[in-house]
Structure 1
Amino acid sequence: MCCRPAVERAFAEMKASGAPDRHALEAALIIHRFHHPEVPFQDALTEVSRWTVGRLVH
């Protein structure tokens, strides 16, 4: 997806600023949802989790 670099950058920059994983993931998810509002929330969360933290979030 074309938004992957923006999603990964948002996550990395949030983490670099000292934000917890959850907040960084939420920021990355917001960017993904902005670019792809048609993707169901759970699918978006799964994809963003794979791109950023490398694991599924339950």
Structure 2
Amino acid sequence: MAAETQCVVAGGGPAGIVLGLLLARAGVKVTVLEKHADFLREFQGRYCARLDDPALGRAGAR
């Protein structure tokens, strides 16, 4: 992890990636950590998030 990281996000699922993206766009030096080498599995956040969530719109996911 780089010494200049200001924020570490644990988990590269849907919520972690969107959080990392929004923080980076706001100028925060962020590192997203993910323990799995691939994304060939189901994510818990995939079932919890609403498709019309305003955060997804702000992230450009619509």
Shorter-normalised TM range: 0.3 to 0.5
For normalisation by structure 2, the TM-score amounts to 0.31
Higher strand share: 2
For normalisation by structure 1, the TM-score amounts to 0.33
Higher helix share: 1
